[in-house]
Structure 1
């Protein structure tokens, strides 16, 4: 009961947009720790100082909350990646000649991911769980995978098979990230990527 009163006071002060941001951040941490199937709406509500009905007022349902978390993280990562590469977020994946190369994009992605292990773990857990057709993020990850492959393939110069190169890049990056997540204290993700990329892009 001692923690409930501050939560109620905080609830009254937060604007809707800030409250939504808080909900997404709390949910992100919980899913990264437990996976979607281990996520309790009560725990999310407690972490935000809300009742479950109050939480549902903001997100609608547990499935909606999951998709909102994924979309929020993808948008944040896109803005960060574009900023690091010095290009507009809406112009990062464009048709025709690009201001950035595939090796530059991949190196920036790895640097970004190396600085946010909790987010990488979140996506790794959910991507594995969502292989089940009845998972609420199954379609989200299917579409996301196709979008990523197409975006990376567009950066592959001719005459190489862009789709094949993109598939190899994603497989390599995902595999290295899994090794890093298992042994973060001894596995240097950025160094491992640099060594692998030198061979892949040679």
Structure 2
């Protein structure tokens, strides 16, 4: 039994898994799922192939772990940025200011980790191939994001689905431009763009 304060085997295993996932996020972001190898991943982690396979039995399991870690970070980061300002779902439409805060929180979270943006961009392109192992999950995530954006914009504009599609296009476009040239302020550019797309004089349906 480890002494008080010493890491347990479970702690060590979780730390190793986190290390592997961090390196996998970086490798897949640069090389894509099909471009990276378990040998490269093991080398980056200072492990043998068997050491990686002990925690993730296959390359596809690594990808599944990466997607889960990515989703966990996104949810945690967004909640950190929006704090307790968002009401409980079903209590009524959110104000424009709160909607913009939610959107800004998403950008703030992802822009804090360039490797996450690179990974998102790479997987969105790769997973257009129906044979990609993450195809269904990425496509479902994209549909869910579109539906959530549409719901957020519903009380704020006449065509929420159109605005949601344009907002996603702006977000993805800014991500790509920022990866090419990170010298500009991603959040400032987003604020300017969303203000034009959703000006404060826009009224909801029926108003």
Q: TM-score, normalised by structure 1?
A: 0.83
Residue of structure 1 equivalent to 2:3: none
Runs of 4+ in 1 over 3 A off after TM superposition: 91-96
| Contact preservation (8 Å) 1:103, 1:201 | no
Residue 177 (structure 2) pairs with residue 182 (structure 1): no
Residue of structure 2 equivalent to 1:125: 122
Residue of structure 2 equivalent to 1:141: 138
Residue 146 (structure 2) pairs with residue 167 (structure 1): no
Residue 31 of structure 1, aligned match among 28, 31, 40: 28
Per-residue CA deviation, residues 161-193 of structure 1 (Å, 9 max, x unaligned), is 3332222211111011111111112x3211211
Give unmatched runs, 5+ long, in structure 2.
1-8, 200-207
Give unmatched runs, 5+ long, in structure 1.
1-11
Per-residue CA deviation, residues 29-74 of structure 1 (Å, 9 max, x unaligned), is 1112222122110111122232212312211211121121012111
Residue of structure 1 equivalent to 2:45: 48
State the superposition RMSD in angstroms: 2.3
Counterpart CA distance in 1 for 2:146 and 2:91 is 16
Q: TM-score, normalised by structure 2?
A: 0.81
Residue 94 of structure 1, aligned match among 89, 96, 113: 89
Change (3 A) 1:98 1:45: farther
Residue 15 (structure 2) pairs with residue 18 (structure 1): yes
